Structure 1
Amino acid sequence: MTNHAELQFKTHDEQPRLTRWLSHSLLLVLVFCISGTSSFGQSNDKVPRVTVVNPVQKTLVYRLPFKPAEMLAIQEAIVYARTSGYLDQITVDIGDNVEKGQVIAVLDTPELTDEVNVAHAQVLEARAHHAAAQAIADAGTSRVLAANAGLIQAKGQILQASAELRKANAVLEAQKIQTDRIRSLHRQEAATDAQLETAEKDHLLAIADVEVSNEALKAAETKSGAAEAMVTVAVAEKAAKASLVTVGETAITSATARLDHAKTMLGYAMIRAPFSGVITDRFLDPGAAVVTSTSSKTTAIVSIKDLSSIKIYVQIPEPDVPYISKGHPAEITCSAYPNRRFEGVVTRISRDLDRRTRTMKVEILLPNEDGQIYPGMFAIVNFDLIERVDAWTLPAQALLGSKGEYHVYCVVGGVCRAVPIKIGLDDGGTVEITEGLKGDEQVILIGKGLIQAGDRVEAVGSNP
């Protein structure tokens, strides 16, 4: 027989045998004591008189026993500084409401202010160097453009010299033919000496023009080569100057990062509330030294708690774990408000049983809009796990049997009859009857210890 003492409502198998035995024994003694008197009443033929009841329909609830617990804030934090300094201002005190991000304290950190100023000066210097490098790079670009223009001009001169050379060669060829023709005519005495002399001079001039054009082409090609070299040099110088610009940009980025870091550290001098809540404790006064939270010795400034909701942790015994799930309602009371009932709900389940206690941790969330519940209050939590509506019930003392085999004595036509039954929920005083009875039976409550099935009895005291 299971003895689950933590349940307020148990099955009849779990009712202590000693209690039921004592109940039957007391009834037996009572019947013996009064059996000889006229108040108990027997008929002249010795028919026992028994008290009977009818099964009654009512709502039964399977309920966990009250669970003591402590109320906790939904969020709570002890606020530390992220940088060191001296407490210059503290704008809150215990009991004050604060909003998320609200400044609650200010530190005096002159070193951080100096770091910001130095970093800002470094940014300005880096920008100046970058501007100078950019100007030099722009000049290099102009030089590349000029060199490219010279190269284009040189290549144009090559084209012009090549054209002049082709023209001179054509003239030379034509003049050679003319000179040869005049020489032939002169041998035939068809041309004068003056004509021959003129033709030979023109031929010599054509040869000279070709040589001049060749020299001009060579000069243009030399100039083009020099222009290409100037372009190469200008491009190399531009690349070198462009690298100075890149170095300047890197210096600006580095200096800006140092400035941002210095500003961030200076911003930590303003201590802000991590969430909306109430200041529940204050640890420092203005002028106190504040040590950063990253050091081995930390200095707390204030404690803040969010009272918008209250969370409660309770331990659920293993047999009752299947009945608990997220969203399950819970009734909470506390000694501060003995006449009030607060409604909470299960929000988290650990899904793991403690091996020592065989219980599972459950979190209950309790809304606290009016702010009348405070962390640290002692809470009593009640769970209604199973509800039976319109269940047929009998007083527990009407039952006979044990170990799941139960029956009751019923009066049928003035005769005691044993009726097997099955039971469900049992709160120790009232038992749910799941099978065996219809509701109109006369069930013997008092006097069943003096009779047995088949005896004639007289039923009295039946409830309506």
Structure 2
Amino acid sequence: MRKWKRVRLYIACVGVSIALLASGCGSQKAATVEEKYIPVEVQPAAVQTLVETTSFSGKVSSDQDLSLTPKTPGKVSSVNVKVGDSVSVGTVLFTLDSSDFQKAVDTASVGVRNAEANYQLTKEKIDLAKTNLDRQRQLYEAGAISKSQLETFENQASETPLQMAQIQWDQAKLGLQQAQDSLSNAVVTAPAEGTVAAVNIKVGEMASNAQPAVTLTQLNSLYVALNVPENIVNYIKPEQEAKVTIASASAQEISGKISSLAPSADGKTMLYAVKIAVDNPEGKIKPGMFAKVDMPTQSRPNVLAVKSEAVVTKNGKTMVYVVENGTAAEKEVTTGLDTGALVEITKGLNPGDSVIIKGQTLVDQGSKVKVVGGNAS
């Protein structure tokens, strides 16, 4: 009897244990089912203005680079500036050996005096021949000389030699003026204020017009030169603002403005040349520096937009997921302008829809979701 009592007690304990275990497992399963959801972050679709910004690379240049060469080749006798010097109008940049130029002036001066003397002598001869011609005409009329003799005196009184002497005198004066100009050009001065960007001559070398001797640049009149393709050129216009970043001069953005836009493409590159004027008050920007230019190229005012990452493609369809009553709902949409950060929605959404912007690749139609981030309203 005791044995059967122990067996029945053991069986009863086992049964209770199984019942308790089953009850616990059921509770755990129910809890698991209850907590099954996909965490998402949402943001409401909103009406706003979209601006597409396109980045370009360019190079800084001066709007007024002056490459100076001597008008007359000659040996350099002095160089008065160095790279980086600021110069004003009339500053002497370099000089050439003037000895040869002075000799040319002296020789031309002698030529002018000789031509003038020849002119005066010729004039005196012709004046005398004219006086003599009047007497000879009286003799001819009196029958004292023949017609051929009279013509000889007429030829002597011709002003043709005087005209030739005048031409020679004018040519001599022109030669003297040219020689004086060459002497004057031996001193090369700055035609405008600026900064010396390059000096390509040394004392004792020959300077010619084949290569710039000194280059001046104006650091307060700089621009970024860049090229844009045909699908961009019609979206920009002169006076339009742009953001310029020149890393070697400043880490901050610089405000720029389109100062020039080519009306036609370059024949080789098929790109359109653009100049972006930039201010340089501190003088840190130098010609030749590389620049990054961000320009607004398209704009859409008052359009419905969502974050670009919210848009997904499934089964060849473009769609977004919105949260409706705790579940994900597919919305097939039509998109417009994509700025990279935001995308225009032209069809398929309404303002205020709670669009899933994180977790959208994990959900399907009807998936149970829980908003853990963002703003659903």
Q: How does 1:420-435 map to 2 (within 5 A)?
A: 420-435=332-347
- CA-atom RMSD, angstroms? 3.8
> What is the TM-score with the length of structure 2 in the denominator?
0.74
Give the structure 1 partner of residue 165 of structure 2: 248
1:289 aligns with 2:278: no
Unaligned runs of 5+ residues in structure 2 are 1-30
State yes or no: 1:389 paired with 2:304. no
**d(CA) in 1 for partners of 2:85 and 2:123?**
57
Q: Which amino acid aligns with 1:380?
A: K
Q: Kindly tell me: are residues 234 and 401 of structure 1, through their superposed partners in 2, closer, same or farther at Cα, counting changes over 3 Å?
A: same
Deviations 1:84-104, CA, capped at 9 Å, x for gaps: 544444333333222455432
Conserved? CA contact 1:92–1:279, under 8 Å: yes
Bigger radius of gyration among the two: 1
Q: Which residue of 1 aligns with 2:112?
A: 123
Q: 1:70 to 1:234 in 2, by over 3 A?
A: same
Contact 1:400 1:406 in 2 (8 A): yes
**Is residue 2:260 matched to residue 1:347?**
yes
Tell me, yes or no, if structure 1 residue 109 matches structure 2 residue 101: no
Matches within 5 A, 1:303-342: 303-317=215-229, 319-335=231-247, 336-342=249-255
Distance in 1 separating the partners of 2:251 and 2:40? 44
- Structure number having the greater helix percentage: 1
Change (3 A) 1:116 1:404: farther
CA–CA separation in structure 2 for the residues paired with 1:100 and 1:78: 15
One-letter amino acid of the structure 2 residue matched with residue 253 of structure 1? D
Contact 1:311 1:366 in 2 (8 A): yes
SS of 2:82's equivalent in the other structure is: coil
CA offset digits 1:398-431 (Å, max 9, x no partner): 4343698423445668887654321122244432
Which of 157, 160, 167 is equivalent to 1:238? 157
Q: 1:101 to 1:51 in 2, by over 3 A?
A: closer
Q: How many Å separate the matches in 2 of 1:415 and 1:90? A: 82
CA shift at 1:261, angstroms?
Answer: 2.6
Q: Give the residue type in structure 1 aligned to 2:108.
A: A
Partner of 2:124: 135
**What is the DSSP-based 3-state SS (H/G/I as helix, E as strand, rest coil) of the residue aligned with 2:197?**
strand
Change beyond 3 A, Cα 1:52–1:90: closer
Map of 1:96 onto structure 2: 85
- Residues 147 and 227 in structure 1, CA contact (< 8 A), matched pair in contact too: no
Q: Could you tell me which of 59, 63, 86 is aligned with 2:49?
A: 59
Structure 1: stretches of 5+ with no match in the other structure: 1-34, 42-47, 155-222
Q: Give CA-to-partner distance per residue, 1:438-464, whole Å, 9 cap, x none.
A: 314344555785543xx5978867622
Q: TM-score, normalised by structure 1?
A: 0.62
Give 1:245 deviation, angstroms.
1.4
CA distances 1:362-407 after superposition (whole Å, capped 9, x unpaired): 3333344664422233322111111223321223344343698423
**Equivalence for 1:261:** 178
Contact 2:258 2:274 in 1 (8 A): no
Provide closer, same or farther for how the CA distance between residues 57 and 88 of structure 1 changes in structure 2, counting only shifts above 3 A. Answer: same
C-alpha separation in 1, matches of 2:58 and 2:137: 88
Q: Return the offset for 1:306.
A: 2.6
CA gap of 1:338–1:266, structure 2 versus 1, over 3 A, is same
Q: What secondary structure sits across from 1:352 in the alignment?
A: coil
- Return the alpha-carbon distance in structure 2 between the equivalents of residues 292 and 403 of structure 1: 74
2:322 and 2:354 in contact (8 A); partners too: yes
Count of residues in correspondence between the two structures: 342
Question: What does the per-residue CA deviation read over 1:161-198, in whole Å, with 9 as the maximum and x for residues that have no partner?
Answer: xxxxxxxxxxxxxxxxxxxxxxxxxxxxxxxxxxxxxx
Tell me which residue corresponds to 1:197. none
Aligned identity (percent) is 22
